[in-house]
Amino acid sequence: MQEPLKINPETAELLTARASARGLSVEDYLKSLLGVTPEQSAAPGPKISVDVRVKPGRAGTDPEAPDWEVRELEDGVIKESADIYENMTLAEANQIAEMWRAKKAEAEASTAEEFMAAMESLAEDVEPLPRDFSREDIYFPQG
């Protein structure tokens, strides 16, 4: 798990004020700045998993026999027949499955890293509030 983003209190107050002014939570405000639509954040993608099994009609009693297949599933269902690799030994099937799982984890990690990098660069552009700034300045501006 990635460490929480560290933001100084002045920046947090500014983000909170700007989010409030738009009627948004801070999280939704930051997503809007990054161009993430509510539909994108609300609709999770399919759950992708990898399955090793004995090919239908084969015995599967000999791990060295080419009786095994690797399947990529979306929400537990095969969406494309191209997502099935067959006629492998058990060791080959497990090796392919592990490679797919590693690639999936790598892709998910890079997405999270890109998001965190975008958040950090966003925070760099926010000018800190003056030390004597208070919430009263937000609710009761003078001028």
Q: Are residues 80 and 97 in the same domain?
A: yes
Cα–Cα dist 36/54, whole Å: 42
Q: What is the pLDDT of residues 37-78, one digit of tens each?
A: 666 565 567 788 899 999 989 988 999 999 999 998 888 888
Q: Where are the beta strands (DSSP E) in 1-143?
A: 48-54, 68-74, 84-88
Q: Are residues 63 and 83 in the same domain?
A: yes
pTM for the structure as a whole: 0.50
Residue 15 domain boundaries? 9-43+114-139
Q: Are residues 72 and 90 in the same domain?
A: yes
User: Is the pLDDT reported for residue 34 higher than 70?
Assistant: yes
- Whether residue 129 contacts residue 18, with contact meaning beta carbons closer than 8 Å, is answered with no
Q: Are residues 52 and 105 in the same domain?
A: yes
Examine residue 133 and state whether it is found in any structural domain, yes or no.
yes
Cα–Cα dist 122/41, whole Å: 19
Examine residue 4 and state whether it is found in any structural domain, yes or no.
no
Examine residue 27 and state whether it is found in any structural domain, yes or no.
yes
pLDDT band at 2 (very low <50, low <70, confident <90, very high): low
The greatest distance separating any two alpha carbons of the chain, rounded to the nearest whole angstrom, comes to 83
Q: Are residues 118 and 93 in the same domain?
A: no
Examine residue 82 and state whether it is found in any structural domain, yes or no.
yes
Which residue from 88, 116, 107, 84 is spatially nearest to 6, judged by alpha carbons?
116
Examine residue 128 and state whether it is found in any structural domain, yes or no.
yes
Q: Are residues 106 and 55 in the same domain?
A: yes
Q: Are residues 123 and 71 in the same domain?
A: no
Q: Are residues 65 and 89 in the same domain?
A: yes
- Whether residue 87 contacts residue 36, with contact meaning beta carbons closer than 8 Å, is answered with no
Cα–Cα dist 62/139, whole Å: 74
What pLDDT is stored for residue 91 in this prediction?
A: 92
Q: Are residues 28 and 52 in the same domain?
A: no
- Name the domain count of the chain: 2
What pLDDT is stored for residue 41 in this prediction?
A: 60
User: Is the pLDDT reported for residue 95 higher than 90?
Assistant: yes
